Amino acid sequence: MSETFAAMSGTLAARAAALDAADQLADLRKLFALDDGVYLDGNSLGALPRHVPARVHEVLTREWGELRIRSWGESGWWTAPERIGDRIAPLVGASAGQIVVGDSTSVNVFKAVVAATRLAPEGRDEILVDATTFPTDGYIAESAARMTGHRLVPVAPAEVPGALGPRTAAVLLNHVDYRTGRLHDLPGLTAAVHAAGAVAIWDLCHSAGALPVGLDAHGVDLAVGCTYKYLNGGPGSPAYIYVAERHQAAFDSPLPGWTSHADPFGMTPAYAPADGAVRGRVGTPDILSMLALEASLDVWDGVSVEAVRAKSLALTDFFLECVAGYVPEGRVTSVTPAAHAERGSQVALRCEDAEPVMSALIARRVVGDLRRPDVLRFGFTPLYVGFADVERAARALAEVLA
């Protein structure tokens, strides 16, 4: 290690210690099951809240093991999708009664896209989709377009306003780009979609729990999101769908399951949709993972999304500063926007030999992930990532690349 590197390391380590000492969210880390490594992959799978195993054990042994079928009523299983939706609502800027939890993000994207085409004015036959989107969103949108007789138009988010027209029925966009961490302009793009007379659908997988979303404030029509990233719900935890209250009476799901029926236990052959967000339900709720998610959301009690966003930006700023200070020039290039208004809660670095570099980092107990062919991704979950973690990760990256 050179004297210059050692001096820089001492300076940045001292800065990290001071920032951690002033961090008002620092105590939340103890709520999670973490070791002494650095975990920067919460944008793929959030860490386990420590109290969740006890809650799952209670569900298994008492609610399922003892009460059995009675738990649908006595333990609140039946109403869990709406109850948990109301707990997620404040984290994405929604009032109660507009979010229902269940199914996967992919299934909810399908519901939202097809329902949006049914909400749109007659005669519109185009669906615009984020050309940079997570692949599944594109696959689902393409299939929905074929099934509904619409034309699919892939377009970069920044080019959406120019692509909108009288034929546009619906627009499906990602709030944060999963590769680069770019934060797209949800308020501005939603307003543009509405000005064109179309329906706006947002995928919140990489923003919910990391930054303010403002679904109600910005007039979003439909939204979907997963719960296993920044919401820490566990692997495969159920996703959710948001249906703005003004659309609920007309929301026509392409998957009308028995639990979204107005009288689910009437078992009638004809479908009659329930009122409200319940229309977003399909089949029997996946209770074990759903109640694990509900318990996980306890870590948000008393925590403001605004405070989380402030720390997220501070963490990513500091990481970029540490990378610039430690890593030899030219070895990595940030593809995450520097501007706060355009940055989510991750930093993506373009790096030659990204795969062996990430493997070497993981061997040093600094866990991020990669997107082929050449992008290193580092996700910063403010509830449990500290500034010392950030400094250590950047230093380890420099050591790997030296």
Residues annotated as part of the active site? 134, 203, 228-229, 377
Residue with tokens 């070791």: 35
Residue type, 52: V
Residue type, 90: P
Residue type, 112: A
Residue type, 312: S
Lookup: tokens for 389: 């973690």
Distance in angstroms (rounded) separating the CA atoms of residues 351 and 334: 9
Handedness of CA 127, 131, 136, 139 (dihedral sign): positive
Helix (H, G, I), strand (E, B) or coil at 259: helix
Instruction: Calculate the dihedral angle through the C-alpha atoms of 116, 121, 123, 127, rounding to the nearest 10 degrees.
Output: -30
Q: Do residues 43 and 383 lie in contact, with contact meaning Cβ atoms separated by under 8 Å?
A: no
Q: Do residues 214 and 378 lie in contact, with contact meaning Cβ atoms separated by under 8 Å?
A: no
HSE-up (13 A, CA, CB side) for residue 92: 34
